[in-house]
Amino acid sequence: MLVVIGGVLALATLVGAVLLAVRVVRARRMLGTLGVGGKVAFYGALIYTVFPVDVLPDPIYLDDVGVLAGALIYLTRLARQRRATAAELPSQPDTPPGQDRVRRPVP
């Protein structure tokens, strides 16, 4: 009975790890705008998940799930910060109403 419960739990964590890995891979399209930190989180999480040397043995995927979830949370926060920063940047510089920008000659 305990072996069956252990097998079901191991299968459930494997499915969770695979689903998280798929979500992290889907976040790959944002990597160009996320900078070095986003790339390190993305590739580090995938390498840790695939690499055979883990903190816990491979039938127990809790550490892999934790690393993938952490990377996904980090990438999501980083993407939200980048979107908020891009939304705050004005497309044209503000000038007071009724005044045109004065062009000064370049020396």
Domain range annotation of the chain: 2-88
pLDDT profile of the chain (107 residues), mean per 10:
81 82 76 78 85 71 83 87 78 54 57
Q: Residue 64: CB partners within 8 Å, gap ≥ 6?
A: 17, 48, 49, 54
- State the pLDDT at residue 100: 53
- State the pLDDT at residue 36: 84
Q: DSSP letters of the chain?
A: -HHHHHHHHHHHHHHHHHHHHHHHHHGGGGHHHHHHHHHHHHHHHHHHHHSS--SS-TT--HHHHHHHHHHHHHHHHHHHHHHHHHHHS-SS----TT-PPPPPPP-
- State the pLDDT at residue 103: 56
